[in-house]
Each structure stands twice: as C-alpha cells, then as structure tokens.
Structure 1
Amino acid sequence: MSTPLSLLQARNTTGLHTSSDFRDYRDHQTRRLERLRKALKIQTRHTKNYKPKTISKENVQSDSRYLEIFFLLAERDWAHSREAKSLLESNDSSSKRKYIVSKLSRSKIYIKQAIDLIDESDKFLLLQTYIFENLLQATIYFESKRFNLAIPYYSLVRVGIQTLLTNNEFTLSEESKDTLKDFVSTEIDEALRIASFKKGVSRTLNVSALSKKQAIDFYEQAKSTHVKDEKNSKVTHIITYYDLIESIDPDAFNIGQSEQEASNLTEITWRNHKANLDDADVARSILNARKLEEDSDLTNVLSFDGILAAWQEGLDIIKDDIERIEAETVATHESNIQQKHIISTYISYNILFRRLQRDYLLISQHSERQKNLKSAINKVENFRDVIRLYDTVLQSTSQLLELPGVSKDHDLFDSLTTLDSFFKSQKIDCIGESYDLSGDKKTALALFKTANDLLKESQALTVEFPGSFFTNEILSRATESSSNKLVRSHALADIEHRTSQSSSRSYIANKINSFPFGSDSDIASKIADFNPKISPVSIKPVFFDIAFNYLNGEYSSTNTSEPINEPSMESKNNSEAESETKSTKRGFLGLWGR
C-alpha cells in the first residue's frame, strides 16, 4: 500500500521539474486510482443519480487499500497545483495563486478524511498522515506569502520526519532514509530558510534547533487557543500531532548542546573586518570545522576531508544567502550583504589554506618516497606527480590573492605573494631536479637559478597563516638550500662543459688561449696530432659529371690496370698539326661541307 511517506519519496526520485513532468505524474496517479477503485469494486459512472462512494472505518479495517484512495486523490491534486504553478510562474498574479491554493486545499481535505479513518493504535501511519497534512498546510501558507504561518508548519513537518528517521521501531531501508534526508534538506530546510529570510526571523539557531523551537512555541500558542476555542479543528490537529510525536520519541523537541553552542557564536573577525553571524547553520559549520581542526591529526592527509567538508558546508549556505539578498533590490540590504561577503571571504580563506596544507603534506610524502627510489625513470615519474601537485597548490595561492579585500591589505597581500613565490620556486626546482636526473646539467642550472632568484626576491612574512605550516624560518631554510643547490649545479655544469671540450677532436696546439683540463695522460695525448690521416672530403656528385666531360678515349680504356703514359712534346705537335689539316680538308675541294 502507498503511504504518505512513500509518496514523498516518489516525488524526490521521479525527477519532477517541468509542467509536463507534473502532468505525467498526475496522470500516473489517476491511472493508479482507477485501477485501485476497480480492484475494490467501488468505481462509479457519471449519471444523473451519481453519488460518491462513502468509505467507513470498517472498510479500512477490512482492507487498508481503501485508505490508499485518499492518499492518491491528495497526491493527484498536489501534482495539479505544481503543474499550474510551473505554467503560471512567468506571469504571477493573485488570481493564479488562488487557483494553486484551491488545489492544495482540496488535497488537504482528502488527507483530513484519511486521518479520521486511521486507527489511533497505528501510530506510525497516523504520524505519516499528519506530516502530509501539515506539509500541505505549510505549502498553502507559503504560496499565499503568509511566511509567518508557514514557518511553524514546516517546523512541525521537519521534526516529524526526523522522528521517523531516528526511531528504531519504524523500519526503513537505507535508500528510503537517504531519499527522505534529501527531501528534508532540499525542500523543508530551503523553505524554512526562505520564509525566515522573508519575515526577518533571527536565525541564531540552526535549522534543526529553529524548527524545534518554532514547533514548541506553536504548540504552546495552540494550547492557549484551545482553551478558548475547543472546536477549532486546526488547533486540535496541532496538539494531537505534537502529543503523538512525544509519545513516539520524548526527546524529539529537545535542543541538543551542540545546537545551543552554535547560538553562542554571533560574530567572526577576519583581519580588521567584523561581521555578525545571524545564520546558525553557518555558525554550526564554522564551529564544527574548528573542532575538527583541534581534534584531528593534521599529519594525516585523510583528516582534511572532514575539515574541508565542514568549511564547504558553511560556504554553500552563505553563498545561497548572498544570491538571495542580491535578488532583492532593496537598499536596506546593503550592510547585510557586506557582512555576508566578509563571512564568505573568511570561510574561503580557511578552506584554501587547509587545502594548501593538505597538498603540501602530499608533496612531503612524495619527497620521502623519492629517497627510496633507485631507478632514474621511477624518480622522474615521481617528480611528475609532485609537479602536478604543485600546479594544484599554485591554483589555491592564486585564488587566495584574488579574494575580495586582499589587494587592499598590503601586509596580507605581500605575505601571500611570498607564499606564491615560494611554491613557484619549489615547482621550478622540482623540474630542475628532473632535468638533472636526465643528464641535462645546463637546463637544470638555468632552472635552479630561476628558483633561487624567486626566493631571494621574496619578502619576509608579516602575517601568520592558519595552521602555521609556512613561516619565515621555512622560507630562509628553502633559500639557503636553493643557493647550495645552485652552487652544486653550477659546478656540475662546468665540469660537464669542460669534459665535453676535452673529449673533442681539437688539440691543445690549436687552443693556445685556453688552459688545458684533464689528467696528465689526457693532456699529453692531446698536445697535437702526431698521426695525421687522410680523411674523406664530402663532395657533390655534379662535380664528377663535369669532370667526365673532359675525359678522352685514352682514359676510357677497359684495361685500367695498365699505366698511362704522358705524350711527348713531339707527339703533341704532330697531333696538333694533324688536327689542323683535318679541319682544313672539309667537304669537296674544301669548298663545301663542314
């Protein structure tokens, strides 16, 4: 059987966003209703003598599905109201709001009828139905913009759902519990925050404590009204609902010590700026984060997850408040939003520094691991991981420098610039180590020089950072270590350069302006080249083609092994005379031809 709680879960899991989603959901409930009526044989036809079927307590006791009819009817009208709201959102008016409220009111009527039919011994089903009724009433007041009345009803709903979630006798799967928790955080808590903001209710307690306090005050008010008007059904339902919760869990309305402590944190100070904490949820998140920082082992990387989550929770809440205030174009909110921005900067500042501390701890662990690695390849791979971590660190330092108000605070800005320069130099130094391992001493020297210059140009810190993980002492040690590394790298690069020169084919006799470097035997062997050898000279093939044109028949003899004798002067003269005679005797009688 569908219960009110299962219907609330269905809303959260179905994914209802647009008007078509709500229409499909409403049609689905209508079909379920028709099937159920058919199964119970109470379907009716629209005739002139139509009368709705009445359902009695005896019917419900014999078959609980009779009660489900009222739940489905209520859910169908609720879906109709949400569909209408989605369609009319862009063009709001009082008449349209009345239409939405009328659908919600009809849905509430069905739930009231269901409450009258439920056996009082079934406490958990009765409580679920009361939760459904109060949620509808809270929605009606919210849509009517009567936020002062919506707050106590939402508070009653929240306390009721929390009672069911924490009660061991009421069995719920882990998935159902998670769905209900999501429903509380996204629907109930959000509606309480908006209603509190609209009515200017001081939220010196968090949502949980606020809902309990509002519910208690509403119950006391209902009791005083009940004395004067005993027939008031609304007041009777409130009193019955409150007593029902207390009968299931006597401590349901007790405000815990941690919730009370949050009310004591009313102001925060960041640098020279102060801001009032009027949101208890933010105060609770800040207190929770501070407590985790005190109790956690900050030498363990996993300890930072809870701390960062607590700070992030407060930041999300304060950002939502800022967006909500900025949407209200009212001049009276200027001082309020200024304080919200101070709180946002304060939380962001702490988040970024805890993230820096965590990442720097990871880098330290990689550095320790580096000492145990023997292979140069593994060391270079480890350096790549460290460089990626330094990229994340530099993103955080960049975000710190861009926080509102930092640029105007010269001491803080200079200290953060020093912190940024420190991590930049460490990253460059890490890259230099990689080049040094790979044998490129010249590039490593250039990188070490850049890293050393960054550290030497950095100013001393004038501001103490959260966690004190970076101090002037650490900066001075890093500068000294970088200078020593630079000297060592310079020496190694010089040795490499000289060695490369000494191992080249040039001799000391050809380098009279430089001092020889190396052992005695090396110097003696490189004084001069005592065994000169003929070396091939590179030449272009076209030169052979040109030379070939000047060869005559004598040089093209097949017997290449015979020596070639030079012709004598007489043979040269004879050959020249013959060639002249041949040149004159051309053609017939020397007159024609060539």
Structure 2
Amino acid sequence: MNDRGDPSSRPENLDRKKLDRRYKDDEEQSVSQQTCNYWICKPLNKREIEMAPPVLFDTLLRERTAALLQSSSDYRRYAHHLSSRLHRLRKTLKVRRRISAKTNPKSAVVTASAETEATATSAPSSKYDAHVPSPSELATDKRFAGLLLLAAERAWAHAMETKATMENSASVAPEKRKHVLQRLEKARKHASQFASILLESDESGFSDYDKLQVVSYSALLAASGALEAFHYNKAVVQFSIAYTGLQGLALSLAGPDASDDDSDTADLYRDLLDSTVIPSLKFAALQVDPSLRSEAVSAIAHKFIPEDNVVVELVQKVAKDEVKVRELLTGKSDHADALEFVDSITWRSHTAHLRDATVAAAIVSARGADEGLSKTLADAKTETSAPAFDPALLAWQDAVDAIHETIVEANSSAGDDVQARVQELYIVSTFASYNLIARRIARDNLLASSLRTSLEAGTKKGAPVKSSASKLRALSGIYDAILQSIAQIVDLPGVASDEPLSDALASLQKYYSAHKCASDAAALLSGSPANVGSWMKAESLVSEIDEMALNLDGETKSDMTAELLFKADVPALRKLVASGLGSAKEQQAAAKVTQQKREYAKAHKGSAPFVVEDLTAEPVFVELDRLVDLQHIGKKIKPVPAKPVFFDTAFNFIGYEQSEQSSSTVPVAAAAGRGQAAVAGALADDAMETKDESTAATAKKGWFWRR
C-alpha cells in the first residue's frame, strides 16, 4: 500500500522526526531551492522577519520559469513542491489545523489565534481550511501572504496538470473538464480573497507595487477560469485588467537606474504578456466582437477594463514613465490614430487600404525613423556611418513582423471579405519588405565603401598582406550579402510582373556582381590566370549594366527607397575594372615572356653562350645547371682532364728501367719511327713477368691484386 493509503503514514500519525525528515526530502527535490530557503521550521527573529520577502506574483513567476512547465508530469511535480512549501509554512506560522468532515467548523480545534477562529466557514470544502490572514498578521510577518497565494498557485498547477492530460488523450471525459474548472475557481477564490484584504486595509504594510502584483495575479486566474468555461465576456474583462496590471509592473521596473534583478523580473512580465495574456485577450475580444480585429491590444484593453477598477489607480502610482502610462490607460499612443493619417499605401501602381491599426501604427513608426535617417544622410558636416541605419531597419522589421502576424490571423478567421483583406495585406507586406531590404542594401554598400577606402589607404602606406587579405575576404562577404538581399527582392510577390523594376534589379545584380569579381581578383596573385579571368568577368558584367534601367524613369531622385537601393556609380566601377584588367594583362604578359625564356633556355641548354655578342639582342635567362657551358667561353682555354688514381698506383709497378736500357741502343729517330709496336711489345713482356710473379707469390693479397 502506498503512503497515501496507509493510515500510519499520514502526517498526524507520524512523530516529529519522521515528519521533519519527509519535509526535508521533499524540500531537496524541489524545483527551485533558492526561493525555498525562506520557509524554515525554526522561528525567526524580528530582523529576519523584516528581511524575509513575501511570496508574491514575481516569486511565483520565477518558480514557474525554474520548473520548466511543459508536460503533465512537470505540473504534478510543481504542485507537489508547492504542497511541501505550503505545509511547512503553515507549520512555521502555527496556523495548521485539521477539520473533520463531520465536525462543526465552529467547534473545531484551532491552534491559531482568536482571529483565525472567527474566519472559519460553515461548509469546509476540504479537510484543511485555508487560513485567511488578517492585516495585523500581515503587518507583523509578511510570510502570511504565502498562505493564500501558494494555495492558489497549487490549485492552478493541478488544473494545468489535468488539462495537459486532456490534450494528450483522444477523448475528453466530462469529469476531467469539471475538475479543471473547479481547480481554477479555487485558485481564483484564494487570490481574490487575498487581494481584497490588501485593498481594504492599509495596515498590512504592503506597497502599491505588491498590491498591483496581487491584483494582476487574481485577474489572470479569473480570466483563465472564464476562458475555460467559454465565458468570453468575463474573460475579456479580466484579461484586460491583467494586461494593464502587467504592463504597469513592467513599466515600474524599467528605467536607467534599474538593477539586474528588476530587469529580469520585467522580462518575466513581458514573456507572460507575449505568450499568454495578449493572445488570449485577442481571442476573447474576437469572440465578443469580430470587428475588433483591426484594433490594437492597448485599445481593446482600454475598451473593456472598468473605469473604476483599482488597477488603474495602482498603475498610476507605480509606473514611472508618465507618457507610457497615459498611452496604456487611455489606449491611445502617438500612433493610435495612424489610420487617419495612413489609410492606404501605394507601391509600384498597387494600392492597398489599411484596415488594421497595428499595421498602420507600425508603418507610421517606420516612416518616422526614415525621417531621422534622411536628415543624417543630408547632413554634409557629419560622416554617415552604418549604425545610422539601425533605427530605420528595426522599425521596418517591426512593421514586417506586424503584417505577417496580421496575415496569419486573417487566414485563420472566417468572413466574406477575408480574401480581399489578405490580398491587401500581401501588398502591404511587399511594400514593407521592399523598404526593409533597400535600407539593408544601402547599409551594406556603405560598409563596402569604407572597406575599399581602407584598402586603398593601406596599399599606399604599405600595409601587411595579411590584413589586406582579411579585408578583401570581408568585402567579398558583404557583396555576397548584398546579392542575397537583391535576390530576396526579386522573389517578392508582384516584382516579377513589374518589368521596369525587374530590369533595374537585374542591372543592380550585375553591378554588385562586378564589384564582387573585382574584390576576388584583388585577392588573387596579379597576372595569374584566375586573376585575369576574374577581371575579364567583371568587365563583361560592367558592359551589360543598363544605366537607364537603374534610373527607373527618374524615380531614384524622388523616392528615398529607390535612391538608397539603386545608388550605383557605374563610371567609377568601369574605370576600376579597366585599370585592374590592364594591370593584370601586363603582369600576365611579363610572366609569359619570363616563362618563354625559361623554356628556351631549357631547350638550348649547353649551346647558348653566356656573353651577349650582339648588343641589340635580349639576354637569355640562365640557370645554374648551365655552368657546364664554361668550356665554350673561349677556344684556347680548355679544362685539364682528371687523372685517375689507378694510373698513379700502376705507375709504381711498370718496369721503366728495362724499357729505358733497350730503348737507349736505338736512335731517337728510329724509336720515333717504330711507333706503337715497341711499346706494345714492352707491355706484353711486363704482363708475362707480372703473371709469373703473381703465380709464384700466392701470399700477396690486397685490394689491388684482387681486381
């Protein structure tokens, strides 16, 4: 039998040591041990009580983030963790009590104060009735706030666990759905009860920021329960309150003097808004009124939030930025009436009406960023840098994202005018993407120009080859990015059918392709076949550029986007390519002559003289292996042949005395006439004597006698 079924394993039947051991084990298995250190069993002194932070909405958000809630098992583990914390907190604060189902709550054994006994209900829904702290208890120890908020969070976790199980199953049982609604209602009850305590009395000692957290959390739980019950009218009101409260909390933590913890908490609020609150608010609002599709989220929240709701007052007290607070509470920003100023857009003879306030506001914001960019570009005193394009790029990127989200929402909706609305949105999307990519190309072109200037300056100063090679690689990468951006413009809807724009983009591709070939050629060895081939390809691309097409019938002078996109200096590029190609061909010709000289010298090795006899003749390349031609320097000078060692050794064994005696009786003239016959005879006699001596003297050995 498991622990729950065994009566001896229940908390009331265990001794204190076993109970403390169980709580300790549960605490070690908790999801976030750092935030659990506040709930310790030993009593705290006054200073520790003042320093111990209460469990509020920001603490619960950190708990959720640390728990990585995705599956039903994650929610179950999170609920068990909350149960352990809640039980230990009740034990620490001495408010833990047991109520039997048959016992009258008024006669129940209560171990708390008299105020606790007065808060007992007539029909307890569980064997542990939630302790409702009084303002005096909250003022004494802020940890009492965790009694209701932890119970609310645990009920929400149980509901999400059951809901996750329902999503994974093929069929949904009505009992499970009823269980989800009951858990969410219980969570709403606990949170709203605690919010009422804080709002009704100022003795609790909680700040306005803490009260806004509790009100927002209570509204969020109420909205989740109403949405699950398909009560869209209640859900949209509660989501509007939660949206306003969370935005106010994020604004209160933003600012130049904000700490890292404040920034992290503000990010948690924004993530919750983006992932849960805003999509749910839009969905509930569309179910109530389909015409709200084109309204901004802030306008929808302002429309449904009650005027006398306490969240409005709390946001005004907490938030620091007065302008953003006014925009939040009134539902109108600086671009809220954007539809009145920008009701339609025209792009390349295509006109589309703007029906969505969000899209119109994004386009107005992007045009405002363009005004700042145009002023920067027109200012001749300051040098334009690449970061000057960042505000415009970010604004147009936000516009593109807003349009894409609107297209997705329009495709998922039903209606008679959906197709017409989607077609207009595609035109607006092409317009925004065209402007975004044009500014990106202009920024990359500016970066490439600065790199080319740096390379030219480095060449004059004699910069290292390594730094020049790295700059050339970066320059080639920038031109690759520009060509990819141009390809993205070509792929936009409606561009292929626009012949003037297509021709202009084709010429622009050739312009930047020629620049890329020139940068690639500069990185290669001058005069090499690859170098000359790159320059020739660049020359071919430059000759195919149509400068009239790049003008777009004068549109580049009147439209800022066209001026930024088709800003091309074709004559300068043509001059650069011509000079580079001429220099490469000269280097190639010089290398070819040198190679021919090498081949000629190799073919006529040993025959060509070193000294040039004709002053008009061009000297021939000489290699080191032609030193053998020294014998041909002059006819009178001849090298002395080498005498082998064998002849020196054999000289000692030739019988010159006998040959001198026989030759002395013969006149010199007769000896000269005999010729080679006498010498041959003498050599034959010596050979016979040597043979006889070698036969007789067998004991003689050595390297010479063995040959």
Give the TM-score taking structure 2 as reference length: 0.64
Report Cα offsets for 1:203-225 as digits up to 9, x if no partner. 5553234423442xx43xxxxxx
8 A contact 2:254–2:263 mirrored in 1: no
**Counterpart of 1:448 in structure 2: which amino acid?**
W
Superposed displacement of residue 32, structure 1: 1.0
How far apart are the structure 2 equivalents of 1:376 and 1:240? 69
Instruction: Give 1:46 deviation, angstroms.
Output: 5.9
Aligned residue number for residue 480 of structure 2: 391
Residue-by-residue CA offset, 1:93-112 (whole Å, 9 max, x unaligned): 59354442332112111122
Alignment partner of 2:196 out of 91, 96, 116:
116
SS in 1 for 2:346: strand
The offset of 1:325, in angstroms, is: 4.3
AA partner of residue 450 (structure 2): Q
Residue 294 and residue 169 in structure 1: after superposition, are their counterparts in 2 closer, same or farther (change >3 A)?
closer
Gap runs ≥5 in structure 2: 1-53, 106-128, 320-324, 378-383, 606-613, 631-643, 652-674, 682-707
What is the Cα-based RMSD across aligned positions, in Å? 4.0
Of 528, 537, 541, the match for 1:450: 537
Q: Among 388, 400, 408, which residue is 2:497 paired with?
A: 408
Give 2:181's match in structure 1, choosing from 70, 92, 101. Answer: 101
- CA distance in structure 1 between the partners assigned to 2:619 and 2:252 by the alignment: 94
Q: CA deviation at 1:84?
A: 1.9
In terms of mean alpha carbon deviation, does 291-300 or 360-369 score higher?
Answer: 291-300
One-letter identity of the residue aligned with 1:482: V
Question: Which residue matches 1:208?
Answer: 298
For 2:318 and 2:371, the matched residues in 1 are separated by 37
Deviation at 1:470, TM superposition (A): 4.9
Amino acid at match of 1:38: K
1:282 aligns with 2:359: yes
1:62 is displaced (CA, Å) by 4.0
Q: Does 1:175 align with 2:260?
A: no
Q: 2-side partners of 1:567 and 1:187: how far apart?
A: 126
Q: What residue number does 1:582 align with? A: none
Structure 1 residue 262, shift from structure 2 partner: 3.1
Is 2:316 the counterpart of 1:262?
Answer: no
For the pair 1:16 / 2:101, whether they are aligned, the reply is no
Provide the C-alpha distance between the structure 2 equivalents of 1:521 and 1:503, rounded to a whole number of angstroms: 21
Which stretches in structure 1 are left out of the alignment for 5+ residues?
Answer: 220-237, 511-519, 537-555, 572-594
Give the direction of change, closer, same or farther, for the CA distance of 1:125–1:443 in structure 2 (3 Å limit).
closer
Please give the alpha-carbon distance, in whole angstroms, between the structure 2 residues aligned to 1:106 and 1:451: 74
1:66 and 2:66 aligned: no
- Conserved? CA contact 2:184–2:225, under 8 Å: yes
Conserved? CA contact 1:203–1:280, under 8 Å: no
3-state SS in 2 of match to 1:125: helix
Q: For residue 286 of structure 1, what is the amino acid of its counterpart?
A: I
CA change 1:320–1:441 in 2 (3 A) is same
The question of whether the paired residues in 2 share the 8 Å contact of 1:70 and 1:114 is answered with yes
2:88 counterpart residue number: 35
Match of 2:463 among 375, 395, 405: 375
Given the superposition, is the C-alpha separation of residues 152 and 522 from structure 1 closer, same or farther in structure 2, using an over 3 Å criterion?
Answer: farther
Distance 1:141 1:408, change over 3 A: farther
- Which amino acid in the other structure matches residue 368 of structure 2? K
- 321-330 vs 395-404, which deviates more? 321-330
Q: Which residue of the partner structure matches residue 103 of structure 2?
A: 49
Q: 1:134 touches 1:154 (CA, 8 Å); kept in 2? A: yes
- Which residue in 1 is equivalent to 2:59? 6
- Once the two structures are superposed, the pairs formed by residues 532-571 of structure 1 within 5 Å of their partners are 559=647
- Note the 1:147-226 alignment, pairs <5 A: 147-167=232-252, 173-197=262-286, 199-215=289-305, 218-219=306-307
**Distance across 2 between alignment mates of 1:402 and 1:321:** 21
1:462-506 deviations in whole A, cap 9, x for unaligned?
A: 545626135476234423442343344334433443354357645
Q: Name the CA distance, whole Å, in 2 between partners of 1:567 and 1:357.
A: 103
1:523 to 594, 597, 617: 617
Q: Report what 1:309 is aligned to.
A: 394
8 Å contact kept, 1:206–1:280: yes
TM-score normalised to structure 1 length: 0.75
Higher mean displacement: 148-157 or 243-252: 243-252
Aligned residue for 2:574, secondary structure, equals helix
CA contact (8 A) 2:335 2:364 kept: no
The corresponding residue for 1:359 is 444
Q: Deviations over 1:283-340 (max 9, x none)?
A: 3332222212221335221122332222222323333343444456888633333333
Per-residue deviation, 1:142: 2.6
CA 1:390 to 1:42, structure 2 compared with 1: closer, same or farther past 3 Å?
Answer: same
Structure 1 residues 17-45: Cα deviation after superposition (integer angstroms, max 9, x where no partner): 22222222211111111011111222234
CA contact (8 A) 1:4 1:129 kept: yes
SS state at 1:268 partner: strand
- Deviation string 1:110-135 (CA, Å, 9 cap, x unpaired) is 12221332243354433332222221
Question: How far does the alpha carbon of each residue in 1:36-94 deviate from its partner, in whole angstroms, 9 at most, with x for none?
Answer: 11112222346453743653525444433333211111111111222222221254759
Question: What is the rounded CA distance, in whole Å, between the counterparts of 1:269 and 1:358 in structure 2?
Answer: 25
Distance (Å, rounded) in 1 between the aligned partners of 2:160 and 2:391: 38
Distance of 1:143 and 1:277 partners within structure 2: 34
CA 1:35–1:411 in 2, change beyond 3 Å: closer, same or farther?
same
Identical residues among aligned pairs (%): 25
Count of equivalent residues: 519
Deviation (angstroms), 1:427: 0.6
State the SS of the aligned residue for 2:334.
helix
Question: 2 CA distance for matches of 1:472 and 1:240?
Answer: 56
Could you list the per-position Cα deviations for residues 193-249 of structure 1 after superposition, in whole angstroms to 9, with x for gaps in the alignment?
Answer: 34445552435553234423442xx43xxxxxxxxxxxxxxxxxx644445555667
8 Å Cα contact 1:111/1:133 also seen in 2: yes
| Greater RCO structure (CA 8 Å; 6+ sep) | 1
Match of 1:322 in 2: 407
Aligned to 2:564: 469
What residue in structure 2 maps to residue 548 of structure 1?
A: none
One-letter amino acid matched to 2:359 = V
Which residue of the partner structure matches residue 578 of structure 2? 483
